[in-house]
Amino acid sequence: MTKTVKCPQCGKAVKWVPESKYRPFCSDRCKLIDFGGWAKEEHTIPGDPAFDDLMSQELDDMPTRH
Q: How many of the other CB atoms lie within 10 Å of CB of 7?
A: 18
To the question of whether residue 7 is assigned a binding role by annotation, the answer is yes
End-to-end CA distance of the chain: 56
Q: Is there a contact between 2 and 15 (Cβ–Cβ < 8 Å)?
A: yes
To the question of whether residue 10 is assigned a binding role by annotation, the answer is yes
To the question of whether residue 54 is assigned a binding role by annotation, the answer is no
Summarize the annotated binding site for Zn(2+) as residue ranges.
Answer: 7, 10, 26, 30
Summarize the annotated binding site as residue ranges.
Answer: 7, 10, 26, 30
